[in-house]
Amino acid sequence: MNLSCTGSPVKDVHGDGRWMSMHARYIEDGKLLKPNVVFIGDSIILQMQDTEAWNHYFKPMHAVNFGIGGDTTENVLWRLENGELDVVNPKVFVILVGTNNYHSTVEEIVDGLETIAWTVYEKRPQSKIVILGLLPRGQKPNKLREKHLEVNLALERVVATIPNTSFLNADPGFVNSRGLITPTDMPDYLHLSRSAYSKLCNLIHNHINKVTNS
Protein backbone atom coordinates (compact mmCIF):
# COMPACT_ATOMS: atom_id res chain seq x y z
CA MET A 1 0.00 0.00 0.00
CA ASN A 2 1.37 3.41 -1.00
CA LEU A 3 0.90 5.63 2.04
CA SER A 4 1.98 8.72 0.06
CA CYS A 5 -1.30 8.77 -1.85
CA THR A 6 -3.55 7.81 1.06
CA GLY A 7 -4.82 10.76 3.08
CA SER A 8 -3.63 10.71 6.68
CA PRO A 9 -3.66 13.33 9.47
CA VAL A 10 -0.59 14.09 11.55
CA LYS A 11 -0.47 12.21 14.85
CA ASP A 12 -0.70 14.57 17.81
CA VAL A 13 2.50 13.31 19.42
CA HIS A 14 3.04 16.56 21.36
CA GLY A 15 -0.48 16.60 22.78
CA ASP A 16 -1.33 20.19 21.90
CA GLY A 17 -3.51 19.61 18.84
CA ARG A 18 -1.65 22.25 16.80
CA TRP A 19 -1.88 20.55 13.43
CA MET A 20 -5.62 19.96 13.65
CA SER A 21 -6.13 23.49 14.97
CA MET A 22 -4.32 24.93 11.93
CA HIS A 23 -6.43 22.78 9.63
CA ALA A 24 -9.61 24.06 11.31
CA ARG A 25 -8.39 27.66 11.05
CA TYR A 26 -7.71 27.25 7.33
CA ILE A 27 -11.26 26.04 6.81
CA GLU A 28 -12.56 29.15 8.56
CA ASP A 29 -10.17 31.39 6.59
CA GLY A 30 -11.36 29.86 3.33
CA LYS A 31 -15.00 30.51 4.21
CA LEU A 32 -14.34 34.08 5.28
CA LEU A 33 -11.78 35.30 2.75
CA LYS A 34 -12.97 33.66 -0.51
CA PRO A 35 -9.46 33.73 -2.04
CA ASN A 36 -8.50 33.89 -5.69
CA VAL A 37 -5.24 31.99 -5.11
CA VAL A 38 -4.68 29.20 -2.57
CA PHE A 39 -1.20 28.02 -1.59
CA ILE A 40 -1.06 24.56 0.02
CA GLY A 41 1.94 22.67 1.32
CA ASP A 42 4.60 22.31 3.99
CA SER A 43 6.84 24.76 5.87
CA ILE A 44 8.32 26.21 2.68
CA ILE A 45 4.82 27.36 1.74
CA LEU A 46 3.94 28.36 5.32
CA GLN A 47 6.96 30.62 5.82
CA MET A 48 6.38 32.33 2.49
CA GLN A 49 3.55 34.40 3.97
CA ASP A 50 5.92 36.13 6.43
CA THR A 51 8.01 37.73 3.69
CA GLU A 52 8.00 40.96 1.74
CA ALA A 53 7.76 38.84 -1.41
CA TRP A 54 4.38 37.47 -0.30
CA ASN A 55 3.07 40.97 0.34
CA HIS A 56 4.42 42.20 -2.99
CA TYR A 57 3.43 39.36 -5.30
CA PHE A 58 0.50 37.50 -3.76
CA LYS A 59 -1.36 39.76 -1.37
CA PRO A 60 -2.64 41.84 -4.34
CA MET A 61 -3.84 38.56 -5.90
CA HIS A 62 -6.01 37.94 -2.82
CA ALA A 63 -4.10 34.79 -1.88
CA VAL A 64 -4.31 32.64 1.24
CA ASN A 65 -1.65 30.36 2.66
CA PHE A 66 -2.57 26.85 3.83
CA GLY A 67 0.94 25.67 4.69
CA ILE A 68 1.80 23.49 7.69
CA GLY A 69 5.37 22.69 8.69
CA GLY A 70 6.36 19.04 8.37
CA ASP A 71 3.47 18.07 6.10
CA THR A 72 3.86 15.17 3.70
CA THR A 73 1.80 14.36 0.61
CA GLU A 74 -0.55 12.20 2.68
CA ASN A 75 -1.09 15.00 5.22
CA VAL A 76 -1.96 17.55 2.52
CA LEU A 77 -4.23 15.02 0.84
CA TRP A 78 -6.10 14.44 4.12
CA ARG A 79 -6.59 18.17 4.60
CA LEU A 80 -7.97 18.51 1.09
CA GLU A 81 -10.31 15.57 1.62
CA ASN A 82 -11.54 16.91 4.95
CA GLY A 83 -12.74 20.42 4.37
CA GLU A 84 -10.07 22.68 2.92
CA LEU A 85 -11.20 22.11 -0.65
CA ASP A 86 -14.86 22.53 0.21
CA VAL A 87 -14.59 26.15 1.35
CA VAL A 88 -12.55 27.66 -1.49
CA ASN A 89 -13.10 28.03 -5.22
CA PRO A 90 -10.07 30.01 -6.41
CA LYS A 91 -8.73 30.77 -9.83
CA VAL A 92 -5.47 29.00 -8.94
CA PHE A 93 -4.11 26.41 -6.49
CA VAL A 94 -0.35 26.37 -5.92
CA ILE A 95 0.95 23.18 -4.30
CA LEU A 96 4.40 22.36 -2.93
CA VAL A 97 4.88 19.25 -0.81
CA GLY A 98 7.03 16.12 -0.79
CA THR A 99 10.35 17.15 0.74
CA ASN A 100 9.26 15.58 4.06
CA ASN A 101 8.36 12.23 2.46
CA TYR A 102 11.57 10.59 3.66
CA HIS A 103 9.73 7.30 3.97
CA SER A 104 8.63 7.33 0.32
CA THR A 105 10.28 6.26 -2.92
CA VAL A 106 10.44 8.54 -5.95
CA GLU A 107 7.49 6.72 -7.49
CA GLU A 108 5.46 6.99 -4.29
CA ILE A 109 6.02 10.75 -4.00
CA VAL A 110 5.00 11.23 -7.63
CA ASP A 111 1.90 9.11 -7.07
CA GLY A 112 1.06 11.18 -3.99
CA LEU A 113 1.32 14.46 -5.87
CA GLU A 114 -0.64 13.05 -8.79
CA THR A 115 -3.39 12.01 -6.37
CA ILE A 116 -3.41 15.50 -4.85
CA ALA A 117 -3.73 17.11 -8.28
CA TRP A 118 -6.58 14.82 -9.34
CA THR A 119 -8.35 15.40 -6.01
CA VAL A 120 -8.22 19.15 -6.54
CA TYR A 121 -9.28 18.89 -10.19
CA GLU A 122 -12.25 16.63 -9.47
CA LYS A 123 -13.55 19.01 -6.80
CA ARG A 124 -12.64 22.28 -8.54
CA PRO A 125 -12.43 21.57 -12.30
CA GLN A 126 -12.53 25.27 -13.23
CA SER A 127 -9.44 26.15 -11.17
CA LYS A 128 -5.90 26.11 -12.50
CA ILE A 129 -3.53 23.87 -10.54
CA VAL A 130 0.19 24.57 -10.30
CA ILE A 131 2.37 21.78 -8.95
CA LEU A 132 5.76 23.08 -7.89
CA GLY A 133 8.83 20.91 -8.29
CA LEU A 134 10.71 19.94 -5.14
CA LEU A 135 13.55 22.31 -4.29
CA PRO A 136 17.14 21.17 -3.78
CA ARG A 137 18.38 20.85 -0.18
CA GLY A 138 21.63 20.25 1.68
CA GLN A 139 24.81 22.32 1.36
CA LYS A 140 26.59 19.75 -0.81
CA PRO A 141 25.43 17.17 -3.38
CA ASN A 142 23.52 14.42 -1.60
CA LYS A 143 21.04 11.58 -2.05
CA LEU A 144 17.98 13.69 -1.26
CA ARG A 145 18.88 16.20 -3.96
CA GLU A 146 19.19 13.33 -6.44
CA LYS A 147 15.85 11.96 -5.28
CA HIS A 148 14.18 15.33 -5.75
CA LEU A 149 15.56 15.62 -9.27
CA GLU A 150 14.11 12.23 -10.14
CA VAL A 151 10.75 13.21 -8.63
CA ASN A 152 10.65 16.39 -10.68
CA LEU A 153 11.51 14.67 -13.95
CA ALA A 154 8.74 12.11 -13.45
CA LEU A 155 6.30 14.66 -12.07
CA GLU A 156 6.58 16.93 -15.09
CA ARG A 157 5.50 14.06 -17.36
CA VAL A 158 2.62 13.01 -15.08
CA VAL A 159 1.27 16.52 -14.55
CA ALA A 160 1.03 17.04 -18.31
CA THR A 161 -1.75 14.42 -18.38
CA ILE A 162 -3.97 16.16 -15.78
CA PRO A 163 -6.47 18.77 -17.05
CA ASN A 164 -5.90 22.40 -16.02
CA THR A 165 -2.68 21.41 -14.27
CA SER A 166 0.87 22.59 -14.91
CA PHE A 167 4.27 21.79 -13.47
CA LEU A 168 6.69 24.53 -12.48
CA ASN A 169 10.33 23.93 -11.67
CA ALA A 170 10.49 26.96 -9.38
CA ASP A 171 14.17 26.57 -8.43
CA PRO A 172 15.77 29.86 -9.53
CA GLY A 173 19.23 28.30 -9.31
CA PHE A 174 19.87 27.69 -5.62
CA VAL A 175 22.71 25.27 -6.46
CA ASN A 176 25.78 27.16 -7.68
CA SER A 177 28.38 26.07 -10.24
CA ARG A 178 30.33 24.23 -7.53
CA GLY A 179 27.28 22.19 -6.56
CA LEU A 180 26.76 24.11 -3.32
CA ILE A 181 23.78 25.86 -1.76
CA THR A 182 24.78 29.01 0.10
CA PRO A 183 23.43 30.06 3.52
CA THR A 184 22.35 33.38 1.99
CA ASP A 185 19.66 31.40 0.13
CA MET A 186 19.03 28.64 2.68
CA PRO A 187 20.39 29.33 6.18
CA ASP A 188 19.71 25.73 7.28
CA TYR A 189 20.10 24.33 3.74
CA LEU A 190 16.37 23.56 3.57
CA HIS A 191 14.29 26.63 4.42
CA LEU A 192 14.59 29.82 2.42
CA SER A 193 15.91 33.25 3.31
CA ARG A 194 13.89 36.36 2.47
CA SER A 195 16.04 37.05 -0.58
CA ALA A 196 15.58 33.47 -1.78
CA TYR A 197 11.82 33.77 -1.34
CA SER A 198 11.92 36.87 -3.51
CA LYS A 199 13.43 34.85 -6.36
CA LEU A 200 11.09 31.91 -5.84
CA CYS A 201 7.95 34.06 -5.60
CA ASN A 202 8.83 35.98 -8.73
CA LEU A 203 8.89 32.73 -10.72
CA ILE A 204 5.61 31.55 -9.21
CA HIS A 205 3.95 34.93 -9.80
CA ASN A 206 4.95 34.93 -13.46
CA HIS A 207 3.66 31.39 -13.90
CA ILE A 208 0.32 32.20 -12.27
CA ASN A 209 -0.12 35.11 -14.66
CA LYS A 210 0.76 32.86 -17.57
CA VAL A 211 -1.74 30.11 -16.74
CA THR A 212 -4.57 32.49 -15.84
CA ASN A 213 -4.15 34.50 -19.03
CA SER A 214 -3.83 31.53 -21.39
Question: Hey, which residues are catalytic here?
Answer: 43, 188, 191
Q: Please spell the DSSP secondary structure of the chain, one letter per residue.
A: --GGGS--PPP-TTSS-HHHHHHHHHHHHHHHH--SEEEEESHHHHGGGGSHHIIIIITTTTEEEEE-TT--HHHHHHHIIIIITTT---SEEEEE--TT-TTS-HHHHHHHHHHHHHHHHHH-TTSEEEEEPPPP-SSS--HHHHHHHHHHHHHHHHHTTSTTEEEE----S-B-TTS-B-TTT-TTSSSPPHHHHHHHHHHHHHHHHHHHH-
